[in-house]
Structure 1
Amino acid sequence: MSSPEADSNPLRREIAETSNQAEISPYVWDLVMNTPEVYKKMVELLKVEEGLIPRGKFESQYKHSFDVAHLSEIVFDEYYSVSEEVKSLAPEEQAGRKKIFLLSAILHDIGKTSVSPETLTGRGPLTDEKRKEIRAHPQRSKDICLEISRAMDTESDRQVMAEVISEIVMRHHFYSEGYPFEAELKKDPDPETEAMITEISRMISVIDSFDALSSPRSYEEPHEPAETRKILLEKFKNYPSLENLINFLADKISN
């Protein structure tokens, strides 16, 4: 991860100081650095909490985003890519699917750039006002993805960001917590694309919850893998197809 640009790159410098570099693969890093608008938004996310988090005490939002991307890469390479659905895709389609999955993971919480630092790092129960602020972040994440799409170089990249990735990040809490935005979900007219959006958003929902439960948070100590597994199986009990993914993650982390 070291490079001549490290000292002038705030995101690289901060990650070098606060996270395990082995958890940020060259693939994930290149996705961020080769998409300037994504890089800018991640720097914004970094700065939201700058100076407010005691080092080593609990996980920041931007580190959580990279950790979710790291877990998502493991899930894609070792779990999702061996499914019959993905194996049936042509190599370039598989590569495109992986890019969608990991960009969605990186950007899933980018809407928290609009949440006040005090709300993000506060301890204790949330007030109604702060809860409303937090619950708005999936929609804000979608809005930011739409902003990013307008700055992308190619029509195909713009379309994927605007129509697929933005919808995945919008849904990343829907399956676990029933956020009250079902009427706002924009279903893709193509059944295969809609199925992909649904599947990836559900997997990222599990991965997001898994990392949140496994990491020290401002409001909660990390859970052990066995307890995390138990909580997630209950949380996603309405989606039995996710049980294998939950067990995969819990087994992977506990080994």
Structure 2
Amino acid sequence: MARLRRRPRDPEGRMTLAEHFREFRRRLFIAAATVFVSAVVAGIYYEPIFEFLKAPFQQYADANPQSDISINFAEATSAFSNLISLSIFIGVIASSPIWMYQFWAFIVPGLTRKEKRISLTFIASTVPLFLLGCWLGYTILPQSLSILYGLSPAGTSNIQAASMYFSFVTRFILVFGLGFLFPVFLVGLNLIGALPAKRLIAGWRFAIVAIFVFAAVATPTADPFTMFVFAAPLCVLYFGAWAVCRVLDKRKAANRPDWLDVDDTEASPL
């Protein structure tokens, strides 16, 4: 029986529509399998993860012994549902280097040698920023909970359903993690020529306002403390992205052929 021969890869990275679908399916499978394996491992260590995410809540409870506050499982299936949801959450974070790379590798057409270097640079910056955002979200969580629980009138209690509490915590952490990918998105637009550094610095005032509006809408809490702590690093990262884009634009200008700068009505040096 004749063996099926794989079509040789185009040196310029061009692919047919069917090849794009196969590439998407392959990378989606790798990303999903990585998340699944990470989630299974997280399920094995469910109790330490549970205590780790419960710590901000417990910190407030210990600091306010007069408050009637606790976490409860309202239904028989709640504990199992919480195990599944927390395992998936940790699986997504733990496998972030793999699924982020798969996402970027699919977008970059064909992965030529130069594009592979760009992809590795992308991962080298994206994963630390994502994890830094998650860490910041977890770090300020006790202060945010203290502000929210402190609004409870005297004589009332905060008996939290476990599913609601952990849903809030995971969304809170993920919003910070994904928000810190903002500068990578800006640099990506610059790499494809859609967002030059001059446009970034020219619109910095509008960008600052947009960042604070985004922080107010995206964060699960409505308190100004959380909004400011989220928005302030994003403003710093915005100017950091501008600095990177400025360097990239200078490199592009240095490698630009002279004949491209000639007016259409003039004869080129060629």
TM band (smaller chain)? 0.3 to 0.5
User: TM-score, normalised to structure 1's length?
Assistant: 0.36
User: TM-score, normalised to structure 2's length?
Assistant: 0.35
